[in-house]
A and B are shown apart, each in its own frame.
Chain A
């Protein structure tokens, strides 16, 4: 039978690390012409002090999407104040892909997001408020329902409320009932809000 050969006893290339993985070296490699080197630098920087600031600074200039993805993943793993502030800034970006990557990253950081969540939900820009509600979609935090109820009680923008009511269908309890009824009355001429509020109401069941 024709052989399928393993060329070497050790099947994988044991390539020597090109440069020392010291932090200064990693920062320099973020500017390497080769995207593979940049991705590895962005991964390994997770172990360096002040990494979030360095990565955020580079994120704005990085043209290659695969490197940006790794930077976002590392920022998620760091999850410190600097990282979160940088992710929040991404919400104001014109770049839809970057915004969505940042939203996904922030969903993984319930403890870091909780203290700033109300501020984001009250942002002047309705788009930022919608993105803030999007963050709540998968956020593992006990206050998610409370925040959503506050949104549908107070937010004047139909699409911010529309996004919030979608999530209340999943996480809402009987606590949300009165607010959902008020929301329906407030946007009586919007078939979508009526549809979404009815759907959410149907799914509430007392704990």
Chain B
């Protein structure tokens, strides 16, 4: 039997700086000194969970693990991946005030505007977008819109189709929206039938060429808080896949702590009043 690893989960100042630089390089997330306690606490938690015994042992695992699983676990701990209605609402504002007007101004046909939400997760995001378009985008009276939401996880897709949410999940919604688009249930709120019919949920593994190949001609992709959990290669492959799913000149939204700078150089960085969005260039050679 191997000797138990001596446990010394202290994080020195130099350790913190070293970790901070590594994590920033990998994820784009920068922790300043005010986050020291938050970061140390989670590092200690992972040092204990992995049995690596010390910061040095743990950091070596993080830096040299080929499949990147530990970095993924740690990123999960370091970021808030809670989902709820109207989370990061400024992006929806950007969609209706800036992005969609630009898209329809360029359109030369009457075909629907197509939005892809990947990952769908339990549905809060695609339904939020549907509500936002109905309530805040005048263009909805002139254009048909298709919303397709996909996820790799079939159980979560079933949950999304059912559309049943806790009080906490809908707490940021104005009361009128809650009344109009939800039905009160004993254990929370359920999305009304009309709205549930208006979002199409499909199962897609982003890493499978055969899964993603049929997806094309989209005007907008929402891919929030997914790529940050991928390793470098998967992240690059995913953004290359999105490139062919989008029409030239179309847009992709990433999560608020994510940056295309860790994934791909293919997209144009566009600054709108509400947010930074990435655009597939209009022209190529």
Contact = CB atoms under 8 A, between A and B. Distances in A.
Nearest to A110: B66
B15 interface: yes
A111 to B, nearest CB: 9
Contacts of A35: 284-285
Contacts of A20: none
A13 B148 CA distance: 12
Contacts, number: 114
Contacts of B199: 4
Interface string B1-26: 00000000000101101100110000
Interface string B238-278: 00100110000000000000000000111000000000000
A15 B245 CA distance: 13
Contact of B21 (A4, A107, A170, A171): A170
Contacts of A69: 236, 240, 264-266
Contacts of B217: 13
B233 A6 contact: no
B144 A1 contact: no
Contacts of A40: 213, 244
A134 interface: no
Contacts of B209: 43-44
Contact of A170 (B18, B65, B215, B244): B18
Nearest to A64: B285
Given A6-B198, A36-B244, A69-B266, A15 B214 contact: yes
Interface in A152-178: 169-171, 173
Given A35-B284, A40-B244, A170-B21, A13 B133 contact: no
Contact of A13 (B57, B145, B180, B216): B216
A12 B216 CA distance: 7
B206 interface: no
Interface in B193-242: 194, 197-200, 202, 209, 213-217, 232-233, 236-237, 240
B146 A65 contact: no
A73 B264 CA distance: 11
A63 interface: yes
Contacts of B213: 40
A15 B209 CA distance: 14
A94 interface: no
B35 interface: no
Interface in A36-83: 36, 39-40, 43-44, 63-66, 69-70, 73, 76-77
Contact of A76 (B57, B60, B233): B233
B134 interface: yes
A4 B237 contact: no
A39 B266 CA distance: 13
Interface string B170-197: 0000000000100000000000001001
A70 B240 contact: yes
Interface string A1-30: 111111100011111000000000000000
Given A6-B200, A110-B66, A205-B12, A1 B146 contact: no
Nearest to B231: A108
Contacts of B64: 140-142, 144
B265 A4 contact: no
B144 A5 contact: yes
A43 B237 CA distance: 10
Interface of A: 1-7, 11-15, 35-36, 39-40, 43-44, 63-66, 69-70, 73, 76-77, 97, 104, 107-108, 110, 138, 140-142, 144, 169-171, 173, 202-203, 205-207
Given A11-B202, A141-B64, A170-B21, 4 more contacts: A5-B145, A12-B215, A142-B64, A206-B56
5 tightest A-B CB contacts, nearest first: A4-B198, A12-B214, A63-B285, A11-B200, A64-B285
27 contacts: A1-B180, A4-B134, A4-B146, A5-B112, A6-B198, A6-B200, A7-B144, A11-B148, A14-B214, A35-B284, A39-B240, A64-B284, A66-B240, A69-B265, A77-B233, A141-B64, A142-B64, A144-B64, A169-B18, A170-B63, A173-B56, A203-B15, A205-B14, A205-B55, A205-B56, A206-B56, A207-B56
